[in-house]
Amino acid sequence: MHVSIITLFPELFEPYLTATVLGRAVQAGRLRVDLVPLRAYGEGRHQIIDDRPFGGGPGMVLMAEPVIRCVEATRAEHGPGVRTLLLTPQGRRFDQPFAEALATHEDGFILLCGRYEGIDERAIEILQPEELSVGDYVLSGGEAGAMVVLDATARLVPGVLGDERSPKEDSFSGADRILDHPHYTRPLDVRGLGVPEVLRSGNHAEIARWRRARALERTRARRPDLLTDAPEGDQE
């Protein structure tokens, strides 16, 4: 998988890429992450990339030309089918089916991180990125959102996950959209709280049934929307 991240703060991604399972995937050659510093495409001796908004108001706007030049240069590093994703509160909500589609996309994708009040609309008009939000809360920029997208997609690449577990078993994957059951490990007694007897029974059919029941119970209580909403691509 080939991911490029366009950002004013490439250094934010360094520890994340080296300290996690993603670092191992990069080492193993399964994952290529290019950090592209938007500032390098700025204008003039000071490499300016933002300016005040026409019409007034607070904050600054990322200028169109540096963004356009940067995305065009980055696209040239990918295959012709590269997808360009703009992280923005105006985007469609990122979800697991979207992650699955990105993870298998042959020519990789570009994550364009917005900052300040946003990007000059003409850059968006010219570049036609897919606009993605990671949820209904206000972030201070696209970088945290890009890390969400990077993490959710990279772990789907074969060999990236540290353990043998298939991503197919995850919550939100495929048709089986259900929350996880509770987990227990040693010791048997934690401040007077024990472990459900069934988990110590050795009866694996019984354990599977118990876990499934607890998972359904939690999903009904906490996220009933997961049980009623049609899975992505199942609407028609």
Please, what is the end-to-end C-alpha distance for the chain in angstroms? 31
Task: Quickly tell me which residue has 């970088």 as its tokens.
Answer: 143
Distance of closest approach, residue 94 Cβ to ligand 9D3, in angstroms: 8
Return the range that interacts with ligand 9D3 (CB under 6 A); candidates 43-51, 66-74, 114-122, 197-205. 114-122
Q: Give the C-alpha separation, 17 to 7, whole Å.
A: 15
Q: Choose which of 1, 87, 112, 147 interacts with ligand 9D3 (CB under 6 A).
A: 87
Annotation marks residue 187 as catalytic: no
**Least separation in angstroms between CB 195 and ligand 9D3:** 39
Number of residues in contact with ligand 9D3, rule: CB under 6 A? 16
Dist CA 219 CA 217 (whole Å): 6
Secondary structure of residue 156 in the 3-state scheme: coil
90 binds ligand 9D3 (CB under 6 A): no
Please tell me the distance from the alpha carbon of residue 83 to that of residue 114, in angstroms, as a whole number: 17
x/- contact string, 138-157, with ligand 9D3 (CB under 6 A)? xxxxx--x------------
Range 59-85 burial, b when 16+ CB lie within 10 A, else e: eebbbbebbbbbbeebbeebeeebbbb
Q: Which is nearer to ligand 9D3, 111 or 178 (CB)?
A: 111
Buried-exposed string 113-139: b where 16+ CB fall within 10 A, e elsewhere: bbbbebbbeebbeebebebbbbeeeeb
| 89 interacts with ligand 9D3 by CB under 6 A | yes
Shortest CB 37 distance to ligand 9D3, Å: 17
Q: Does the footprint of ligand 9D3 cover residue 37 (CB under 6 A)?
A: no
Near ligand 9D3 by CB under 6 A: residue from 4, 7, 133, 219: 133
C-alpha span between 68 and 71 (Å, rounded): 5
Catalytic residues: 89, 117, 155, 170
Write out the residues near ligand 9D3 by the rule CB under 6 A: 87-89, 114, 117-118, 133-135, 137-142, 145
